[in-house]
Amino acid sequence: MTSLPEPSAIKLGLVIDLDICVGCQACVVNCKEWNTSGYGAPLSDENAYGENPSGAWLNRVHAYEAGTGADARTVHFPKSCLHCEDAPCVKVCPTGASFKRAEDGIVLVNEEWCIGCGLCAWSCPYGAREMDPSEGVMKKCTLCVDRIYNANLPAEDQVPACVRTCPTNARHFGDLGDPGSDVSRLVAARGGFDLMPEQNTKPVNKYLPPRPRRVADDTPVSLLAMAEDATPSGFWKWVDSTLERLG
Amino acid sequence: MRPAWSIIFFTSISGLGFGLAAWLVLGFVDLTNPEHLLVVGVATMALIIAGLLSSTFHLGHPERAWRALTQWRSSWLSREGVLAVLALIAMAVWGLYYIRHGTPPFWASGLIAVLLALTVYATSMIYASLHTVARWHHPLTPVCYLMFAASSGLMAVLSVLAVLGQKIGAPLLLATILMVASAWGVKIIWWQLAGAVGSGSSLATATGLGDLGPVRSIMPPHTSENYLQHEMGFVVARKHAAQLRAIALLVGGVLPMAALFLLAAAPLVLTMALAAHMAGIFIERWLFFAEAKHSVTIYYGDAH
Ligand code: SF4
Ligand code: SF4
Ligand code: SF4
């Protein structure tokens, strides 16, 4: 059924810290690595070693400059499916291949049913869905549904591949439906926000804004003054006065 | 949005078929001769089926297309499929009834015409229901689709009448000219209004970084074009759009209307006029896609 389920109590999703992400692309690569051999068909590439390589990826990292002049800053911006509460991609799907899980809110594609019409990708404001070039079915972030519930993996690996791999801890995974969860508290503390709220998709994933700049004291420090100000004490005072006496 | 030929052909040819079917069941052509009924009926259904089939050409898995009939509760694409199948069945039943018992009761024909109009409406809503393409998300979008289905259908009625050697009355000729004129009239209004207000989305709302000041894209996430840019990043240059609109109006509107006005009645002229009208609709449909901007292009730095 592509009608949306009642909003679930558990809303699994990601919180991405734009203050910390350094744009290293490790999450992008590990996402591809895990998902090319996990849920559904492999994520194929076309012309991978040629002039214009392309292929299906579920996570992409943009880079933006925000602000002007001395206050401008570079913000690396990872983007994947936001597992929207009011997911348009699910509602437009004619086959029932796109669905939102009633138990945890994860949005998935049943690749056995997908006809590859592409309408779901058209309906997603964020560009979170990409057609697989060789399989002709729609691919999207699964929130690593085959890791997070996988009891065969050690506990620390039971998180999405991107979260596990991020070297800077810019990515957090958890239940955003529970106000007491670590991720919900992080969102509350840092003023986490939705992408394109005007599209009324009610994303579950949240983004944390870059922290305000710390204003540095900008009077230049003089090393000479520091050196002259220094009055030695103890042994160094004796050395100092002896040397001075010597002339 | 990338203008895929299969979709352009699908929307315009099935629109023509549904429009013609509606005028036929409403009695615009005398079909008492069973041979005429058969030929015209089969030709009309062939147009509709050709349109529907072409819409499956761009699918990754056309062999599963039947699954698209299952989600009519939520999906306009699915509704379009279901309504099209129902309309084809209703047309076949209508034709059989006609052969056995003569003209079906008007309420039944009226209902079928409504069903045909609903099918075209559903086609238009596939696009009009998308928030992500501000230009399509406009109440006049379905009106444009319905008007062109009606106008091309009526132009086709004239050709059928001429080919069957039936009389084309002056009122019908005038009505067709008015229909073509008003279809393009609505389109001109749509060209002015649709998308003019935008979606409200910008790089500031897309990234949430607006509070820091102006936001600009400094590095795309990949080095060459991906699926998103291929599908949704296509936007025709403004200058060409203006020229193409003028050509569409001229070929699809002015030309057929002038032909009807000056040289009506010759089957060849009527068929040429229909062909010109359809050519104009093809260009209009191409522009419908090519001029449309998808919100995802904002992430790649396009101004909206
Ligand atoms: S981000 Fe896009 S693909 Fe994911 S749930 Fe929302 S609309 Fe659907
Ligand atoms: S591409 Fe597949 S998942 Fe997307 S709308 Fe079409 S059938 Fe549904
Ligand atoms: S791995 Fe972490 S730091 Fe690197 S691009 Fe992804 S989110 Fe940013």
Model pTM? Answer: 0.91
A53 to each of A56, A126, B9, B277, B296, how far by Cα in Å? 11, 22, 30, 41, 21
Ligand 2 mean position, distance from CA A138 (Å): 6
Q: What is the pLDDT of residues B90-108, one digit of tens each?
A: 999 999 999 999 999 999 9
Ligand 2 mean position, distance from CA B214 (Å): 36
Ligand nearest to the CA of B74: 2
Looking at per-residue confidence, does B238 or A65 come out higher? A65
- Greatest alpha-carbon span in chain A: 97
Predicted confidence at residue B304, as pLDDT, reads: 58
Q: Which of residues 238-277 of B touch A (CB under 8 A)?
A: none
Q: Give the Cβ contact number of residue A46 at 10 Å.
A: 12
Sign, CA torsion B261/B263/B264/B268: negative
| Burial (0-12, 13-18, 19+ Cβ within 10 Å), B61 | buried
| Band (A39; pLDDT cuts 50, 70, 90) | confident
Q: Where are the alpha helices (DSSP H) in chain B?
A: 5-25, 34-55, 76-101, 106-128, 140-163, 170-193, 203-207, 227-232, 238-249, 255-263, 267-290, 296-299
Q: What is the pLDDT of residues B24-79, one digit of tens each?
A: 999 999 999 999 999 999 999 999 999 999 999 889 999 999 999 999 999 999 99
Sign, CA torsion B126/B132/B133/B137: positive
Cβ neighbours for B53, distance < 8 A, ≥ 6 positions apart: none
CATH number of A12-208: 3.30.70.20
Domain ranges of chain B: 5-300
Looking at per-residue confidence, does B59 or A217 come out higher? B59
The closest residue, in CA terms, to atom 3 on ligand 3 is A21
Beta strands in A80-158 (DSSP E): 98-100, 107-109, 129-131, 138-140
- Say whether A64 and B212 touch across the interface (CB within 8 A): no
Predicted confidence at residue B144, as pLDDT, reads: 98
> Over chain B, what is the mean pLDDT?
94
Predicted confidence at residue A226, as pLDDT, reads: 72
Domain ranges of chain A: 12-208
The reply to whether ligand 2 has any atom less than 6 angstroms from the CB of A96 is: no
CATH number of B5-300: 1.20.1630.10
B236 to each of A105, B186, B248, B288, B290, how far by Cα in Å? 38, 22, 15, 10, 5
Of A55, A17, A43, A44, the closest CA to residue A169 belongs to A17
Q: Give the separation between CA B145 and CA B142, rounded to whole angstroms.
A: 5
> Over chain A, what is the mean pLDDT?
93
B57 to chain A, any CB pair closer than 8 A? The answer is no
Residue A229 scores a pLDDT above 90 = no
B45: which 2 tokens?
């259904």
Beta strand A138-140 pairing with A129-131: antiparallel
Chain B interface, mutation test: which of A64, A86, A113, most B Cβ atoms within 10 Å?
A64
